[in-house]
Structure formats: C-alpha cells, structure tokens
Amino acid sequence: MALLDKVSLPEDLKRLSRNDLPAFARELRSEIIRVCSLTGGHLASSLGAVELTVALHYLLDARRDRIVWDVGHQTYGHKILTGRRHLLDTIRKPGGLAGFTATSESEYDALTVGHASTSLAAALGMALARDARGDDYDIAAVIGDGALTGGMALAALNQIGHVKPRLLIVLNDNEMSISENVGALNHYMGHLQVQRWFQKAETRSKEALSGIWEPLADLGSRAKKAARRFFDPASANPFHAMGVRYVGPVDGHDVIELLYLLEHIRKLDGPTMLHIVTTKGKGYGIAEADPILWHGATGFDLDNPVQAGKSYQWSDAFGEAAIRLAEADDRIWVITPAMREGSGLVEYSQCHPERYIDVGIAEDVAVTVGAGLALRGEKPIVAIYSTFLQRGYDQVIHDVSMENLDVIFAIDRAGLVGGDGATHQGIYDMAFLRILPHFSVAMPRDVLELRSMLKKALLIGGPVAVRWPRGGTERAPDLPVDAWLDLEWGSWEVLKEGEDAYLLCIGPTVEYGLEAVQGNPRVGVVNARFVKPLDESLLLSLASRAKVLITAEDHAVAGGLGSAVAEVLQDAASPVRLIRLGVPNMTVPHGDVKAQHEDFGFGPRALRDRIEELGLGVAPTAQEADRATQPVH
C-alpha cells in the first residue's frame, strides 16, 4: 500500500504524479476489497467506481466543489480518499460510518442519500444556488444506469437541459442495477456501447477521445455545428436531444483517460454528460462474475471468498406464496421496482415471466402500472420495500386508494433495517397507509399468517397492504392455496390472557411480548395483526377488563398501531391507561436492529423492565426478595 499510505485527504492525492494514478487505483481497489471482507457492504458498486473516484478527486477540490453521488453506495473509495480510511471498517456498524454519503458525516459529502435518482435534481439546485451567488465551483453528479431509470432523474434531466447550468454529469454505466438493468434507455445505451466499441476499438486512445470532445469545446461556426449534428452519432442521442451535451461512451477504468476528459469537459459551459462504461465488481474476479451476489456483500474470507448462505427469509416465504397464488389464478401479476432478489422474486420471475414485471427504479410507475392492471380486472401484487413505497405515495393515494382498486402491496423490510440505516428504515408505512380510504393494512406473525393474508386480500378486494420485516423466519410446509389458513379479516388474536394488562403486539413484537411476560399471569399478549380494519370489539373488551394496555411496534410511534388504538379508545371514552411503544420521532441511524428495539423500549428485555416498573411484574420469590435486601459488599 505504498501509495495509498501517503494519501489521507484529496490534497495528498493531488501530490501524486499522474503516472502513479493507475497503481494508486489498484491499491485503493485492494483496500476496498480488504475492508469489505471484514465488514460486508456495497462491494461491487464501489469497485466499479474506483477510477472515477480517483479521477474526480485528483481534479476537483471536493471540499469546495460538490461531488453528488447518486444512491451513495459506490462511495467506499470516496470515503477512503476523504479522511475516513481509518474508520472504514466501522461502515454500516452501530456508531460507525454510514453506508452511503451523509452531509453530517463529512464536509466532502455533498448530499445525504440512500434512495436512488436524486443526484441530478439536487445538483441542479446546487448549480442554481452557485450561479445566483456568483460562485464558480464545479458540481459533478455521478449517476448509475440503474438510478437513471428513475422518473426523478429523467425529469431532472429534462429541467437541466432547459435551464442549462454548468454541470458535469457522469453516467456510470455498468449495465446493472442490482440485477440486470431494464428499460428502453438501457437498450439504447447498450447500442451506443456496441457502436463505439466496434467502430473505435483500435483507436480508443487519447487522440480518439480528444476527437470526441474537441468539436464540442470548439463550437465556432454554424457550419461546424451543422456538420457535427450531421456526422456525430451523439447528436441523435436522447441526452443530447434533451439539451445536455453528450460525450462517450468511454472506458471508465482508464483513469488517465478519464482525467483527461474530465479536465476538458470541466471548462465547458452548460450541462455535459460523460458516459463511462464500467464493470460492476471490477478487479475482483468473483464479483465481476456475479455482481448480483456481490452487490450487497456479507463479510467474507479473503482466501476463500464466498458469500454466506442466508437462512430462510420473509422474502423467500413471499416469493413462494406468490408462485402458488399465480399458479392458482392466472390474473395474478407481480411488479417489482428493481428489487427482484431482495423481494424474493427470482424463482417467481422464472416460473411466471409473463406475469412478472421489473419497472426499474421507478416505484411510482410500479404503483400505477398496478392500478392499470387492476382497472382491467387483473390482480397485481406490487412487491416493494417499505422505504421505497414512499416514492410512490401520491400514486398510492391518487391512482389506487381513491379508485378502491384491487392492488396488493407486498411490503418488505417493514421496520428497522440495520446496516442500510436512516434512508432505508421502513417505519412509516402503517401511518401513511392506514389513513387512506379503502385500505387494509396487516402484518403477519409468521409465514402461515402471511399466506393467509395474501390469499384473503384477493377475496376481500380493494387496496391491501401486507407488511413484513427484513430478515429470517421459520419455514412452513408447502401447501396448496386451498389449504392455507383461513384468517378472519381484521381479527386480532389473544395469545395469552392477562389479569391486569395486555401487550398489543404486531409482527416481530409478538414474540418479544410473549418472551417478556413468560410466567407472568398479570400481563397478556395479543397479536394485533391488523391495524386496519382494527379489531375494535376485542380492543374495547380488553380495555374494559385491563388496567393498562401497552402497544409495541417496530414502526414510528406516531401514526402506527399505538395511534390507531388510541383513536379507538378515545372515541369510546375508555378510561384504560394506554402506553405506546415504538420508534420515536427521530431519524434512526444504522445499527443493530435488536439492540435498537431494546433502546426504543419494545425489545423483550425492555418490555419486561417496563412491566416491572409499572408494578405488573411477577412477585419475586422469597429467595429473590431475601437476596435483594442483603447489603452489597
């Protein structure tokens, strides 16, 4: 690590000679691999962006200039070069570096991010601010081909081409989103690559590249412009047509060439897109060979690099259920916004390719495609992470809820998510869905309930949200749909009776509650599996019997189960004491999910303590009481 050890900040990098940069990039790549082997994380994307990262930091002054990384998952190299190398092995860990860029973490991070497709709009805003204040710093947005499938990115591009601020856009095209990228633009970019790679393969040198940009820099005469439009294939290109100068595609792993191009583009007025072609996982054979597996990696052994197999996940259970449902009913569709693997849909996509659609990173489109299908009598399931459904909220209200359409929302990663942190927490969906007309909102306790809720959703009709957490669950025997549990819609279940109090739990907190009150006859546990419709008669009967009700949920305490319960109790003028436990009104950083549940007061230990505090614990045995009064030495 001879060169890397000399660099802790961008100014150190600038002291290296250009000729050192390829070797420096190799060292940076090794360091990313080493750290990811310890911590896991977004390995493949960060490897693909190594040369770009080096070139941008060699050229720009990232403290003053703004590098706006889209998603921010490709920034391990950027973090290493901006004073965070010594902390990189804390990435995504409790109290450690965030997995994405965050303005609170570093002055070199231009944007707090984690959701895709925001970079171009944010960069446009920054450019407007810069120009309004007469400043002259550079702004570079780096956006992946996956992130470019998002409507937000395309709409921002439309605006950028209209306003034409001085802005550098680097399109980092590895032909991959998390899975293979989708969409017409993706096909077009592939076509551009083929054209250039075939035509110019022998001249992919500095001279050839200069031929790409120089006519652009020198827009002298009208004739020249016209000639350029005529001869330059880029002039037929959609980015160009939208008013954004287009340069490329070029090899994104040639750091010297990248630097050369960026240096010249930087001087140009108006917006310029540099289309670079990269390989996801570049430089690490196994990651190049399987960039999907190595997109979000677990830690691994450098000498024997394999990805740890996952236990049975909630998403697996959903994927299997979707296959069974689609077999039983040929009007079932599953729509994913770019999350085939994460949503457990690999097998479904192979079994029912004709009723599977990946719309790209376009949650709004996913929801409204669902609405369109439902309007024509089909039965769409929009499989979506809680956090990403936020992107399609207007569509949920305007296109689905208002029309009372039969769209099922299969909501994954509901609750706190661990390493991905603040941007990916799935803690608002119950609040924002249960207030909408026609909606049902449910959360299963186990796979049997999950299946039942999906099956029943199809019978009940209207928009239905079924949500489940990130992580593992118990496998249930594979049964035909007819044999799936018949759950009464909107019903809660008393799992344990209590003499004085009840814990009203949902999803993962059901097991927490059972654990917390084991051997305690005073406190009962209810599986409050529907927040809407809510089991009002059971709730009011519990309220009339108990002194205290405690809701416990892995969801924002504002607006979730506790709020729904409070509304019913208030309307019925119930005098019962209600304690609401859940995620407080704050931005919750990455962390260990179980520890965070305890910190927020709804983990099993915290629940037990709370019950003790309320004087609802089990009376201590004579022996324990005796011990408690002994003096402490």
Contact between 284 and ligand HTL per CB under 6 A: no
Kindly list the distances between the CA atom of residue 52 and the CA atoms of 247, 261, 272, in Å, as whole numbers in the listed order.
15, 11, 16
* 148 vs 384 by CB, closer to Mg ion: 148
* 142 vs 611 by CB, closer to Mg ion: 142
Least gap, CB of 453 to Mg ion (angstroms): 34
End-to-end alpha-carbon separation of the chain, Å? Answer: 54
Is 515 an annotated catalytic residue?
A: no
Contact between 48 and ligand HTL per CB under 6 A: yes
Strand 245-251 with 548-556, pairing = unpaired
Whether the CA torsion 594, 597, 599, 604 is positive or negative: it is negative
d(CA 471, CA 316): 10
Contact between 116 and ligand HTL per CB under 6 A: yes
Which span (140-148, 455-463, 545-553, 557-565) binds ligand HTL, by CB under 6 A? Answer: 140-148
- 435 token code pair: 């207030």
* 175 vs 515 by CB, closer to ligand HTL: 175
Q: Which of 57, 73, 282, 555 touches ligand HTL by CB under 6 A?
A: 73
Residue 147 binds which of ligand HTL, Mg ion, none (CB < 5-8 A, kind-dependent)? ligand HTL
Q: Which residues contact 326 (CB under 8 A, 6 or more apart)?
A: 332, 333, 334, 348, 351, 352, 355
Q: Which of 27, 31, 145, 446 touches ligand HTL by CB under 6 A?
A: 145
Contact between 178 and ligand HTL per CB under 6 A: yes
DSSP assignment letter at 400: I
* 174 vs 349 by CB, closer to Mg ion: 174
- Angle subtended at Cα 324 by Cα 322 and Cα 327, rounded to the nearest 5 degrees: 105
d(CA 309, CA 99): 22
Least gap, CB of 492 to Mg ion (angstroms): 44
SS3 for 53?
Answer: helix
d(CA 624, CA 491): 40
Any idea how long the chain is?
633
Q: Which of 170, 176, 209, 410 touches ligand HTL by CB under 6 A?
A: 176
Contact between 146 and ligand HTL per CB under 6 A: yes
Residue 73 binds which of ligand HTL, Mg ion, none (CB < 5-8 A, kind-dependent)? ligand HTL
Cβ atoms of residues 288 and 312 within 8 Å = no
The active-site residue out of 280, 282, 451, 456 is 280
Q: Which of 79, 84, 196, 280 touches ligand HTL by CB under 6 A?
A: 280
Q: What are phi and psi of 531, to 5 degrees?
A: -90, -20
- Angle subtended at Cα 597 by Cα 592 and Cα 602, rounded to the nearest 5 degrees: 170
The active-site residue out of 66, 391, 467, 522 is 391
Residue 178 binds which of ligand HTL, Mg ion, none (CB < 5-8 A, kind-dependent)? ligand HTL
Contact between 174 and ligand HTL per CB under 6 A: yes
Contact between 115 and ligand HTL per CB under 6 A: yes
**Closest among 379, 341, 344, 339 to 363, alpha carbons compared:** 339
d(CA 72, CA 60): 18
d(CA 362, CA 113): 17
Q: Which of 56, 98, 123, 338 touches ligand HTL by CB under 6 A?
A: 338
Q: Which of 10, 144, 462, 601 touches ligand HTL by CB under 6 A?
A: 144
Least gap, CB of 420 to ligand HTL (angstroms): 7
Query: How many residues form the binding site for ligand HTL (CB under 6 A)?
Result: 21
Least gap, CB of 368 to ligand HTL (angstroms): 15
Which span (166-174, 448-456, 460-468, 514-522) binds Mg ion, by CB under 5 A? Answer: 166-174
* 210 vs 298 by CB, closer to ligand HTL: 298
- 197 token code pair: 């790679």
Least gap, CB of 181 to Mg ion (angstroms): 6
* 145 vs 251 by CB, closer to Mg ion: 145
d(CA 239, CA 262): 18
The active-site residue out of 341, 363, 449, 553 is 363
Is 280 an annotated catalytic residue?
A: yes
Q: Which residues contact 123 (CB under 8 A, 6 or more apart)?
A: 66, 68, 139, 140, 141, 167, 169
* 106 vs 174 by CB, closer to Mg ion: 174
Q: Which residues contact 360 (CB under 8 A, 6 or more apart)?
A: 146, 149, 150, 177, 181, 182, 183, 337, 338
Residue with tokens 């090899």: 251
Q: Which of residues 240-279 bind ligand HTL (CB under 6 A)?
A: none
Q: Which of 177, 368, 452, 574 touches ligand HTL by CB under 6 A?
A: 177
Contact between 574 and ligand HTL per CB under 6 A: no
Contact between 388 and ligand HTL per CB under 6 A: yes
Mark residue 490 as left, alpha or beta (left: phi above 0; alpha: psi -120 to 50; beta: remaining). left
Is 288 an annotated catalytic residue?
A: no
Least gap, CB of 320 to ligand HTL (angstroms): 23
Contact code string over 472-511 relative to Mg ion, x by CB under 5 A: ----------------------------------------
Q: Which of 28, 33, 50, 176 touches Mg ion by CB under 5 A?
A: 176
SS3 for 199?
Answer: helix
**Closest among 181, 177, 161 to 169, alpha carbons compared:** 161
Which span (52-60, 174-182, 502-510, 565-573) binds ligand HTL, by CB under 6 A? Answer: 174-182
Helices (H), ranges, 266-309: 285-289
Contact between 360 and Mg ion per CB under 5 A: no
SS3 for 161?
Answer: helix
Contact between 174 and Mg ion per CB under 5 A: yes
Residues that bind Mg ion in the complex, under the rule CB under 5 A: 144-146, 174, 176
Residues that bind ligand HTL in the complex, under the rule CB under 6 A: 45, 48, 70-71, 73-74, 115-116, 144-147, 174, 176-178, 280, 338, 361, 388, 391
Which residues carry out catalysis? 280, 363, 391
